[in-house]
Structure formats: C-alpha cells, structure tokens
Amino acid sequence: MSVFDTLRIGGSSLFVHRKWMDAVADNMANINTVRPAGEDAFQERMIVAEAVQYGSGEGGVRVARTELGSAEGRLVYEPDNAMADADGYVRYPDIDLGEQMTQLLMAQRGYQANLATIERATSAYQQALQLGKG
C-alpha cells in the first residue's frame, strides 16, 4: 500500500463520515417538525456505508444507500396548533435526540481519526520528498 492509497482510502472515509454528520444534523434540525395528523412525519435519515474491495488494500468505503426511518412518527395532542386536525392532534417525527447526539459524536470521531491519518500520510510524503532534495 502506497501513501497515495492511504490518501485515497482516507479521503473516501472522510466523505462517508461527512455524509453521516449531514444526515444526523438534518435529523436534529427536524426533530420538532410538525405535520398534520393525516400526513407522514419527517423521516429520519440513516447513512449505510460499505467497504469497497475489502482486503485488497486498494479499497476504501462509500455510501451504499440512505435509509429512511418511520413515517408514522408520533401523534401529539396540541389543539392550539394551527396544523391540528379536528381531534386536536398533530404528527411529530419519532427521533430520539440522545441517539442522534451519540451518532453525531461517532461520526465526528471517525472523521477526526481519518483526517489525522491523511495528515500523517501527507507529512510522510513531504518528508520523503525532502530526502530526495538533500
């Protein structure tokens, strides 16, 4: 495995972790999105990653797909809400803020770890170039 492979694989992981953080941020931003009871609730986004050419040393990782959470959400009795139905209910997404915070921390730590790997590989490559000058 060369330094360039390390940069490419690390870069693919940075992309996946960024997509994961984007999805979690979107979920957190819409945690209080209200919809009429007859409509679907905001659906949680979940990123599914997969290995590319696993074990070959030339792979990486990519976003395989984005899965959506339940559209059912939860009904809340809010008769004063402008979107409430005749019975006074509105629909909120069924998203757990604690779980989203945990997901955000894991995605952030993964991003930081891969960024550190890329920085070290870049430094090693630059040092190798300096050896050639001397």
Q: Domain-by-domain residue ranges, the chain?
A: 3-133
Alpha helices in the chain (DSSP H): 3-29, 97-133
Taking CA 115 as the corner, what is the angle to CA 106 and CA 4, rounded to the nearest 5 degrees? 130
What is the Cα–Cα distance from 17 to 104, expressed in whole angstroms? Answer: 10
pLDDT top residue among 5 and 79: 79
Q: What is the mean pLDDT of the chain?
A: 91
> Burial letters for 59-81: b for 16+ Cβ neighbours within 10 Å, e otherwise?
ebbebeeeeebeeebeeeeeeee
pLDDT top residue among 129 and 77: 77
Q: Report percent pLDDT > 70 for the chain.
A: 93
